[in-house]
Amino acid sequence: MTPAFDVVLVGGGGAGLRAAIAIAETAPRLRVAVVSKVYPMRSHTVSAEGGAAGVIAADDSLDEHCYDTISGGDWLGDQDAIEAFVREAPQELLRLEHWGCPWSREPDGRIAVRPFGGMKKQRTWFAADKTGFHMLHTLFQTSLKHLSVFRYDEWFVTKLLVDDGIVQGVVALELATGRIEAITARAVILCTGGCGKVFPFTTNAAIKTGDGMALAYRAGAPLKDMEFVQYHPTGLPFTGILITEAARAEGGYLINKDGYRYLQDYALGTPQPKPVLRSMELGPRDRLSQAFVKEFEKGRTIPTPYGHVVHLDLRHLGAQVINTKIPFVRELCLKYQNIDPVTDLIPVRPVIHYMMGGVSTDIDGATPLPGLYAAGEVACVSINGANRLGSNSLPELLVFGARAGKAAADYAMRARDPDAAVLTQLKDERRRVEGELLRPHGHERIADLRDAMQSAMEESAGIYRTDASLRRGVATLRELQARAMDVHVEDDSRTFNTERVAVLELQCMLDVAECIVNAALAREESRGAHQRTDFPERDDVRFLAHSLTARQPDGSCGVSYLPVTITRWPPAERVYGEAPAYAGTSELRSHHAAGRAVPSGERV
């Protein structure tokens, strides 16, 4: 049977749109569909603020970006992937410039770069502090000129069609009408983003429910490094709205209740009036979030009705810098916290921000399941290792969105047509989604189950974890899975039934949450964002390895391990503060990044 499309993309955020454009440009004859549960310009890429890293400055080098990323990820990232990522990031950012992205500029009209956490050089491209918004709208608007890209806006994918181990399309629910259809394809790329909503306090939008991770997991594709969940150190209390790292890059201080820049007590350097790269407030996010917990334990945080906070002090920057470099920070503080950062301290606390783990892929976005690809936050290639550096995720979705798009297009051109028998799965899925979910027969409230899951995740798999906390988490989630079978749906309409979507999302989140706690329980060491108080040291002998969580025949979650690829940077200690960060590994080579010659490394 001829499939409806050559490639189906699930998700229309940055990664999905970049992949769609890559296919449209390199293989314009292929028919591409973007299936998204929201209109593409509503995707969560829109909320990214600070910037996108890509080597462009004359004093920078590709090797230094590699080293910062590898050490920032506590040596868990695959170095071959990181090298490809760092090499291609400047080209991708430049391509976006050619498509109209309003990158902030130097007075002479060249691209400007700013410092960012964990980065030893200034290499973060930015569009004021609405970088993700501008990138997403540029990608979306650019995608509109490609007629080979067909969109299914507001269609929720409920299942991957898998025949004989080969992925051949999706089943999706049209929200407006409630109809459920198969969308067959030779290849599917998951670009659904992260899963922050499995936790109660997150910067993530309401739509970030781990759908793509759950789809892959249920279809038999393993998830990689799911125990690594990033807390961003500066979220607004109560709302969890992100205050971008750019606020610290521009010179903001983090202070405790005594007005003391407490990061100096946690091996992050000594305070200087101006920002110092890879030091203090520009340390990596995992270390900064962990320092907050230590300050709390010392009684040096500030209690508020919405939990303890520390303060982010931007007052010394002045209105001019704040208005030009980080205007959205001011807008958000005024609107959602009723304070003005020009004159007031900003209360902040760590907040769930990003998923390092995801659907396990190779360097071209391919999963172990033939026909299934993934890119962006939903995927784990892995370049982020145990802790992502700020401003690496936006170039990641471009680089690996493009790579996955091209790889899926290549595959689609030689893959065989799907067997019509695959459509029998549509009937089963219709029965599940219509029959089971439209009957108001259950007793459990969706909101109750969601709240219970989120509390269980925060208590068991927060910034610091233990064997006991994680075992409780595993047990609670098993129980919630059972309770979710008895969920109550009041809404029996087929027209835009958001309650039915909420149940589908809850089911996805529960699967993803189980993977997180099981992977965290199995990793008996502390590395990056995964901190076990019962195993406080990094253990390279046992755990210099990626975890793979895969669904077992009995429905439980099995954990196995995959070696980490080390190319030129053997595991070493992570050093922040004044110590020289990078001593180089290889001879000097020159590269052409974003139209400018930059060295690839420093001579040793």
289-292, long-range: CB within 8 Å, 24+ apart, which pairs?
289/231, 289/232, 289/233, 289/350, 289/463, 289/529, 290/266, 290/463, 290/464, 290/531, 291/233, 291/262, 291/263, 291/265, 291/266, 292/233, 292/349, 292/350, 292/463
- At residue 326, the 3 state secondary structure works out as coil
| The two structure tokens encoding residue 483 | 């309770």
Helix (H, G, I), strand (E, B) or coil at 9: strand
Residue from 489, 508, 512, 517 that binds other proteins (CB under 8 A)? 489
- For residue 521, the tally of other CB atoms under 10 A from its CB is 22
Least distance between other proteins and beta carbon 493 (Å): 7
Distances (CA, A) of 577 to 119, 283, 333, 391: 12, 8, 29, 20
Q: Which of 18, 31, 44, 349 binds other proteins (CB under 8 A)?
A: 44
Question: What's the closest the beta carbon of residue 3 comes to other proteins, in angstroms?
Answer: 25
Which CB, 92 or 295, lies closer to other proteins? 92
Distance CA 329, CA 243 (A): 6
Name the catalytic one among 18, 42, 248, 538: 248
Residue from 334, 335, 336, 342 nearest 247 by CA: 342
Considering only 158, 290, 497, 547, the residue that binds other proteins (CB under 8 A) is 497
CA distances for 490 relative to 264, 444, 445, angstroms = 54, 11, 10
Asked whether position 332 contacts other proteins by CB under 8 A, the answer is yes
**Among residues 431 and 445, whose Cβ is nearest to other proteins?**
445
Tell which positions 158-177 bind other proteins, by CB under 8 A.
176
By CB under 8 A, tell whether 144 contacts other proteins.
Answer: yes
| 486 interacts with other proteins by CB under 8 A | no
Distance (Å, rounded) from C-alpha 314 to C-alpha 576?
23
Instruction: Candidates 66-74, 275-283, 285-293, 441-449: pick the segment binding other proteins (CB under 8 A).
Output: 441-449
The answer to whether 207 contacts other proteins (rule: CB under 8 A) is: yes
Strands (DSSP E) along 85-239, which ranges?
113-114, 124-125, 149-153, 155-163, 166-174, 180-190, 223-224, 229-235
How far apart CA 273 and CA 252 sit, in angstroms, is 10
Q: How far is CA 597 from CA 54, 61, 87, 590, in A?
A: 13, 10, 12, 7
Q: How far is the CB of 46 from other proteins (least distance, A)?
A: 5
- Catalytic site residue 488? no
Strands (E), 365-409: 372-374, 379-380
With respect to other proteins, which residue has the nearer C-beta, 97 or 163? 97
Of the pair 108, 537, the CB lying nearest other proteins is at 108
H/E segment holding residue 10? strand 5-10
Burial state string for 328-337 with b = 16 or more CB within 10 A and e = fewer than 16: bbbebbeeeb
Token pair recorded at residue 203: 């910067």
Q: Which residue, 386 or 501, is less far from other proteins as judged by CB?
A: 501
User: Footprint of other proteins on residues 544-573 (CB under 8 A)?
Assistant: none
From residue 93 to residue 112, the character string flagging contacts with other proteins as x (rule: CB under 8 A) and all else as - is: -xx-xxxx-xxxx-xxxxx-
- C-beta of 240: minimal distance to other proteins in Å? 9
Q: By C-beta, is 297 or 331 nearer to other proteins?
A: 331
Q: Which lies closer to other proteins via its Cβ, residue 105 or residue 439? A: 105
Query: Are residues 46 and 208 in contact, defined by beta-carbon separation less than 8 angstroms?
Result: no
Q: Residues, the chain, total?
A: 604
**Using CB under 8 A, which of 17, 183, 205, 520 touches other proteins?**
205
Size of the site for other proteins (CB under 8 A): 61
Out of 141, 148, 264, 323, point to the residue binding other proteins (CB under 8 A). Answer: 141
Residue 25 or 539: the one with the smaller Cβ distance to other proteins is: 25
The rounded distance, in Å, linking the Cα atoms of 404 and 410 is: 10
Among 1, 26, 28, 39, binds other proteins (CB under 8 A): 39
Task: Give catalytic status of residue 523 as yes or no.
Answer: no
Instruction: Give the containing element (helix H, strand E) for 311.
Output: strand 310-313
Among 508, 216, 251, CA closest to 368: 216
Residues 120-139 that bind other proteins (CB under 8 A): 130, 133-134, 137
Minimum CB distance to other proteins smaller for 218 or for 488: 488
Per CB under 8 A, the list member of 446, 506, 509, 517 interacting with other proteins is 446
247 binds other proteins, rule: CB under 8 A: no
464 near other proteins (CB under 8 A): no
Q: What is the smallest separation between the CB atom of 275 and other proteins, expressed in angstroms? A: 22
Residue from 232, 285, 388, 523 carrying the catalytic annotation? 232
CB of 310 to other proteins, least distance (A): 21
Give min distance, CB of 284 to other proteins, in A.
24
Binding interface with other proteins (CB under 8 A): 38-39, 41-44, 46-47, 91, 94-95, 97-100, 102-105, 107-111, 130, 133-134, 137, 141-142, 144-145, 153, 176, 205-207, 239, 241-242, 331-332, 335-336, 445-447, 488-491, 493, 495-499, 592, 594-596
Positions annotated as catalytic residues are 232, 248
